[in-house]
Amino acid sequence: MKIVQARRISQVFFFLLFIWFCIVSTVGEKLWQLRGWPVNWFLQLDPLAAIGTILTTHALYRGLLWALVTIILTIVFGRFFCSWVCPFGSLHHFVGFWGNRKKSAAQKIRLNKYRKAQCIKYFILVFFLFMAAFPSIAASLQVGLLDPIPLITRSFNLIFLPIVDRSVNFVSVSDRFYVGGWLIFAIFLIAVLLNLTIPRFYCRFICPLGALFGIINRFAIWRIGKRQNECVNCKLCEKSCEGGCEPAGKMRISECVLCFNCLDDCGENIISYQTQPSLAGEITNPDISRRGFVLSLASGIFAIPAVRLSGKLGSNWYHKVIRPPGALAEKEFLKRCIKCGQCMRVCPTNVIQPGGIDGGLENLWTPVLNNRIGSSGCQLNCVACGQVCPTSAIRPITLSEKLGTGEFAEAGPIKLGTAFFDRGRCLPWAMDKPCIVCEENCPVSPKAIYTQECFNTIRDGILTVKKVSDNTMETVENNLSLDKLATGDYYCAVEGDERRKIVANTENSIEISPDKLFGKIPTAGSKIEVQVRLQRPYVDIEKCIGCGVCEHECPVSGKKAIRVSAEGETRSADRKLLLKR
Amino acid sequence: MNEQNDKKLSRRQLLVSAGKTGISIAAAGAASYLLYDAKGPKAGVEYKEHVILKNFSVQHRPDQTMSIAKGSDRAETLNKAIKLLGGIERFVRPGETVAIKPNVAFASPPMLGATANPELVAEVVRLCYSRGKAKKVIVTDNPINDPASCFALSGIGKAASAAGAKVVLPKAKFFKHTTLAGGTLIKDWPILFEPFAKVDKVIGIAPVKNHHRAGASMTMKNWYGLLGGRRNIFHQDINTIIAELAMMVRPTLVILDGTEVMMTNGPTGGSISDLRRANTLIASTDCVAADSYGCSLLDMKVSDLPYLAKAEKAGVGTTDYESLKPILATVS
Amino acid sequence: MGLVPYRARRLESVISICLLAVLFLIGVGVFIKQFDYNTNQYGIQQLGVSLISIGAGLVPTGFEMLSKVEVYNSENLYEKINGKAPLYIESGFKELSTQRFVNINDRSLWMELYTYDMGTVKNAFSVYSIQRRAGSEAFPPMQLGTPQSGNPFAYRTDNALYFVHGRYYIEIVGSSESGELFSAIAEVARKIQANLAAGLDASIAELAMFPQENLVPGSIKLYLVNAFGFEGLTNTFTAKYKSGNETVTAFLSKRADSKDAEVIAESYRSFLIENGAVIKNTTSKTIVGKVMDFYGTTEIVFTAGPFVAGIHEAENQQAAEKLAKILINKLNSLNNE
């Protein structure tokens, strides 16, 4: 068996494994649902997530220890990950191969020559790492933007899977939405299409993970190289070179992705995977200029303090950024979130959405709740998001902690924010229409929404009595709608008497409930008022946990009459609404 | 021969490179081991530096705890009141650093009485230097409006500097988190700490004002200016916070200026007609007692201000100022 | 490929195969890992804990919790429901959670909610059907916003509501026959359906296997064990049919295959004969030898493919035979599908 065959099988294996993990990330017990599938494995193997979080938090969190395996194997063998494991890399490899397959050998060799621009990915890496490097001043983890594993995880989970699943509704019973998906898709598509110009475009020029590997593989024991000097310089080894590392000349170790195509293509058996450096010479260091390095370093250091001048982490914070239960306080959160989208994928109600930049540049693709989308706000007895977060930007809380039961009873439930009524839009407050859907759906007990009864005289509701017989009253006016008042919400208020419930009406008569007839028969010519009984809802902000079910259910479906805002969220001490809980 | 050398060379090379590989692996492994965190982050944010304000009070003298000077000239009444308590020398030792905390809450002109009187502040500064022989006097506060504007428009900045004091504006890095032992509200809360960290004595200066929320704003409420963060949240339990402030700050001396009292529309006032001349100035080592006497100038009773009783219960001072045998004097 | 030394090529092959072996091991590792999970982690929980956590969300409008949630397992179930316990325990009972709600304004109106986790839909249906009180009124499918989610397994008496929710059997019993109280009971039922994850996927196939004509609605029962007092009749469904003024009971039970069905049918017939049954004559050819007289009632026991089926304790032999024929035809047509 040829080594390239093994490599191809490995690429297919890991790609399919990746797709499988995307499919099964639905909470449930069936074999094709979450169960114990290690759906975060690729993200955990990714050393950028590990190193990034080590820089920002000075700790290596749990599952990210897998990155050590990748690092050690890379140190010993070289950039195996790029060619053998990375699903994004495999995709680029395939598209690059397929898009350029009809070209001649000479054209392909030209496409695969080393380009100076391949140093850009190192600058990108340095830029991101230094953005994360000084948590005491200001540090933010933004590697997730271009790190290939979170990128492909986002793209598949939030774009391709929902689109494909819409036709079969296998993974999800309802159609899933992800706000701003167009941007994620666009970036993914551009990255993939660029392979038609130069194969593995992203890997060679952009990928910061590849750059990281390119730096740490300098002491690899084995590397690609010429084992003999009798090379005829046919350059066929560069025909399918994936890394753009020029094995025909001085071998650029930092660019070699161990695809072994050169070994396979060499007709003279010159290229091998060996312990000694290539007999034609070897360059271990990435080709980056000191100027470029310093520039990206400085930019990285200044970038976050510059971005944070917007005040979005201080007094100018954006109230619509409502984060999932268990999320850390904002500064700490931004140190850990790698924008992988797992929480958005696993959320059973589809309420977690990728954030936009309205909450600040750092907010892009971080999890933000949008209560209008999905089935029901943040489901009360669900803590799935924290369980799948690979870096603990959302802590893996227990249900007890979320609901404030058991040992957390004194601390109380976790609040995501507080609901606020927009009384100008709320039906009972502004439109004289009964409705208490919000109160009915409030899941906590005692409810955080309570109502107070009030009676309002309706429009054109003052009528003149013509005649009263039994429980029917004829009016002088003739402009009521037939049985409009028969819903059980309308009452007839008479001076000096209790109001009576209306059970039916015609254009000019009102019938009150026989259970309770008029105490004092109204005289002809006197005035009565038709009133609507309203239950006007209030939020008890001590009890409200900001779950958003009320906002979701509110029938004023455009701009909701009750909206959750992040004030009062438990995770932020400085956004407290109440003095005590 | 050459071939053997070559082989040796490459073998040595191999060993060296294997060594480098090994070291890299060991470094990676060691880093992982040391940094490994199985538990993950905790919910709240932990502040690494926690500070406590120290106790700035001097030796207690039961017969010289509170003095009341009546007169229309603040410099005169001030000097009299302090002399009655043993003179500034009792409170400020030669070579010491003193922090004066006046009420500079608003960017309001001095004649409206919403802030401490600038001449009064200047006189205290002068006393500290001339009689107390202080090495350095600073004047500081964390105002509600913009700090630079407040110190400028209230006149306190200029008056204090002219008298030789250094005006310290509240910079963000001056705030550190503190927790009050026995407190329920001041927990992990940022206070203006740095200016007070290295001083020996603290003197508070406050005018007597009516306050819509708290009832009155006098020497105890004056310490609100030490709170940082979004301190307005404490207005939901205003009496407890004032009592806890009095527990947290134990000053050397407080001056309560009742020369012109803001009777209505406090704490900002806004009109001369809000003021009433009472020509009274109180000096005391007991904030609670000073405020308890001061409320009479507002035509209030001690029971009208729940925070007085709360503070007394916490052991900070006494509302029964008569028991302290305050020394009364009139300055012509 | 040119002249590659034999050795290098073999080395390459060996390494490639080893790498593939590593991939295989990874695949195996991943597959083994997926068995290791605890649904409590994600919030899908064992009932007791989940009722405690969602119990708060079940309180109907105008009511409050009267007592804390009580949880019982098979060892102490007896303490709560006494003599009824064996029925549940035999039917796969896992856990019972109970809770009481009381009307805030009128303390005489209260209800008690019993949530039995029976493990599977079939088990829940079994205890539900066996417990069904005669003269009860089928409760209209409980609306949950979509007609599809209407629950066909629900009935009410004057003061209580009984229904199946996935693997749970739920009883909500009110303290009085008040209409207001029953509205609140219905509200709790709706909330349970909305909030309690119950694995509603499994449906009960056998229900459709009974002929529909003259079937008394809501009369289908499932006996998981010991149907008609005979050990071998497990997983047996019974249904009542109208025949003139009388009712005739039919039964069926799906076995592993037709051989197993024959064995069970034969042993049941022997059991009946041992206890005094006598084989009767019959004009119907298909059930010759399968009709018995048991102390004056007619018992017919036959097989149809993998099904053991028949008529149980019928008063009228003719009616019994007629129904038996219809049943045979239905089962045979199902077997031929």
Nearest of B232, C272, B22, C54 to residue A315 by alpha carbon: B232
Q: State which residue of chain C sits closest to A436, comparing Cα positions.
A: C61
For an interface test with C, which of A35, A42, A437, A445 has the most C Cβ atoms less than 10 Å from its Cβ? A445
Do B6 and B118 have their domain in common? no
Nearest of B156, B95, B90 to residue B123 by alpha carbon: B156
Do B15 and B54 have their domain in common? no
| Tokens, residue A345 | 């994928």
**Nearest Cβ partner of A65 from B20, B32, B45?**
B32
Do B25 and B115 have their domain in common? no
**Nearest Cβ partner of A54 from B21, B35, B188?**
B35
Mean pLDDT score, A377-392: 90
Nearest of C124, B182, B162, C41 to residue A402 by alpha carbon: C41
For an interface test with A, which of C23, C25, C42 has the most A Cβ atoms less than 10 Å from its Cβ? C42
Do B12 and B58 have their domain in common? no
Domain of B179? 50-330
Query: How confident is the model at residue C120, as a pLDDT?
Result: 82
Q: How many domains does chain B have?
A: 2
Query: How confident is the model at residue A91, as a pLDDT?
Result: 96
The residue behind tokens 């001072």 is: B317
Per the prediction, chain B carries an average pLDDT of 90
Q: State which residue of chain C sits closest to A447, comparing Cα positions.
A: C57
* Cα–Cα dist A61/A328, whole Å: 14
Do B70 and B175 have their domain in common? yes
Note whether residue B206 is domain-resident.
Answer: yes
Residue B277 has pLDDT above 90, yes or no: yes
Residue A35: Cβ within 10 Å count:
18
Do B70 and B25 have their domain in common? no
Do B35 and B55 have their domain in common? no
Nearest of A364, A413, A452 to residue A581 by alpha carbon: A413
Note whether residue B45 is domain-resident.
Answer: no
Residue B227 has pLDDT above 50, yes or no: yes
Mean pLDDT score, A19-34: 89
Looking at the DSSP bridge assignments, the partners of residue A530 are: A492
Percentages helix, strand, coil for chain A (3-state, rounded to 5) are 40, 15, 45
* pTM given for the model: 0.72
**pLDDT tens digits, A33-80:** 888 899 999 999 999 999 999 999 999 999 999 999 999 999 999 999
Residue A288 has pLDDT above 90, yes or no: no
Do B75 and B142 have their domain in common? yes
Per the prediction, chain C carries an average pLDDT of 81
Q: How far apart are the first and last CA of chain C?
A: 59
User: With an 8 Å Cβ cutoff, are A387 and C42 in contact?
Assistant: yes
Do B119 and B240 have their domain in common? yes
Give the ipTM of the model, two decimals please: 0.86
Identify all chain A residues contacting B13, using CB atoms and an 8 Å cutoff.
276
* Cα–Cα dist A565/A567, whole Å: 6
User: Are A52 and A129 contacting, i.e. CB atoms less than 8 angstroms apart?
Assistant: yes
**pLDDT tens digits, B139-197:** 999 998 888 888 988 999 999 999 999 999 998 889 999 999 888 899 889 999 999 99
Burial (CB < 10 A; 0-12, 13-18, 19+), residue A154, is buried
Identify all chain B residues contacting A392, using CB atoms and an 8 Å cutoff.
40-41
User: Are C62 and C184 contacting, i.e. CB atoms less than 8 angstroms apart?
Assistant: yes
Q: Which residues of C195-206 are buried (b: 16+ CB within 10 A; e: fewer)?
A: bbbbbeeeebeb
Nearest of A506, A523, A510, A502 to residue A473 by alpha carbon: A510
**pLDDT tens digits, C102-143:** 888 888 888 889 989 888 888 888 898 888 766 566 665 443
Within 54-83 of C, beta carbons closer than 8 Å to A belong to 54-59, 61, 64-65
* Cα–Cα dist B188/B186, whole Å: 7
Q: Please, do chains C and B touch (3+ CB pairs < 8 Å)?
A: no
Query: How confident is the model at residue C142, as a pLDDT?
Result: 45
Q: Tell whether A332 lies on the interface with B, counting CB pairs under 8 A.
A: yes
Looking at the DSSP bridge assignments, the partners of residue C328 are: none
Query: How confident is the model at residue A210, as a pLDDT?
Result: 96
Note whether residue B267 is domain-resident.
Answer: yes
Residue type (1 letter), A245: C
Q: What are phi and psi of B112, to 5 degrees?
A: -85, -10
Question: What would you report as the CA-atom Rg of chain C, rounded to the nearest whole angstrom?
Answer: 27
Query: How confident is the model at residue A275, as a pLDDT?
Result: 84
Query: How confident is the model at residue C151, as a pLDDT?
Result: 62
For an interface test with A, which of B12, B24, B33, B46 has the most A Cβ atoms less than 10 Å from its Cβ? B24
Nearest of A138, A178, A135 to residue A159 by alpha carbon: A178
Residue C70: Cβ within 10 Å count:
18
* Cα–Cα dist A216/B24, whole Å: 8
Do B102 and B211 have their domain in common? yes
Residue C147 has pLDDT above 50, yes or no: no
User: Are A443 and C56 contacting, i.e. CB atoms less than 8 angstroms apart?
Assistant: yes
**Nearest Cβ partner of A36 from C4, C33, C65?**
C33
Question: Chains with 3 or more CB pairs closer than 8 angstroms to C?
Answer: A
Q: In CATH, what number is assigned to the domain containing residue B276?
A: 3.40.50
DSSP state of A277: P
**Nearest Cβ partner of A268 from C2, C27, C199?**
C2
User: With an 8 Å Cβ cutoff, are A68 and B44 in contact?
Assistant: no
Query: How confident is the model at residue A497, as a pLDDT?
Result: 82
To the nearest whole percent, how much of chain A has pLDDT over 70? 100
* Cα–Cα dist B271/C327, whole Å: 99
Query: How confident is the model at residue B4, as a pLDDT?
Result: 58
Mean pLDDT score, C321-332: 88
Q: pLDDT category, C148, cuts 50, 70, 90?
A: very low
Query: How confident is the model at residue B175, as a pLDDT?
Result: 92
Q: pLDDT category, C1, cuts 50, 70, 90?
A: very low
Looking at the DSSP bridge assignments, the partners of residue B203 are: B100, B253
DSSP state of C140: P
Note whether residue B69 is domain-resident.
Answer: yes
Mean pLDDT score, A406-431: 91
Please give the order of strands across the beta sheet that includes C291-294. C221-223, C236-243, C246-254, C307-314, C297-304, C291-294, C278-279
Do B108 and B7 have their domain in common? no
Query: How confident is the model at residue C202, as a pLDDT?
Result: 54
Question: Chains with 3 or more CB pairs closer than 8 angstroms to B?
Answer: A
Q: pLDDT category, A563, cuts 50, 70, 90?
A: very high
What chain A holds in terms of domains, given with CATH numbers, is: 3-283 (no CATH), 330-414 (3.30.70.20), 451-536 (2.40.10)
Q: pLDDT category, A560, cuts 50, 70, 90?
A: very high
Which of A154-158, A313-317, B322-326, C131-135 is least confident? C131-135
Determine how β-strand A352-354 pairs with β-strand A367-369.
antiparallel
Nearest of A382, A405, A407, A398 to residue C69 by alpha carbon: A405
Mean pLDDT score, C256-263: 89
Q: Tell whether A396 lies on the interface with B, counting CB pairs under 8 A.
A: yes
For an interface test with A, which of C3, C4, C9, C12 has the most A Cβ atoms less than 10 Å from its Cβ? C12
User: Are A227 and A237 contacting, i.e. CB atoms less than 8 angstroms apart?
Assistant: no
Which of A316-320, A532-536, C186-190 is least confident? C186-190
Compute, in degrees rounded to 10, the torsion defined by CA atoms C76, C77, C78, C84.
-170
**pLDDT tens digits, A201-220:** 999 999 999 999 999 988 88
Residue A510 has pLDDT above 70, yes or no: yes
Residue B212 has pLDDT above 80, yes or no: no
* Cα–Cα dist A502/A91, whole Å: 70
DSSP state of A415: P
Do B160 and B291 have their domain in common? yes
Nearest of A76, A81, A69, A77 to residue A242 by alpha carbon: A81
- The number of CA neighbours under 13 Å toward the Cβ of C326 is 20
Query: How confident is the model at residue C43, as a pLDDT?
Result: 65
Q: Tell whether A309 lies on the interface with B, counting CB pairs under 8 A.
A: no
Beta strands in C203-337 (DSSP E): 221-223, 236-243, 246-254, 278-279, 291-294, 297-304, 307-314
Q: pLDDT category, C35, cuts 50, 70, 90?
A: confident
Which of A270-284, B218-232, C72-86, C125-139 is least confident? C125-139
Residue C146 has pLDDT above 50, yes or no: no
What chain C holds in terms of domains, given with CATH numbers, is: 42-195 (3.40.1000), 205-336 (3.40.1000.20)
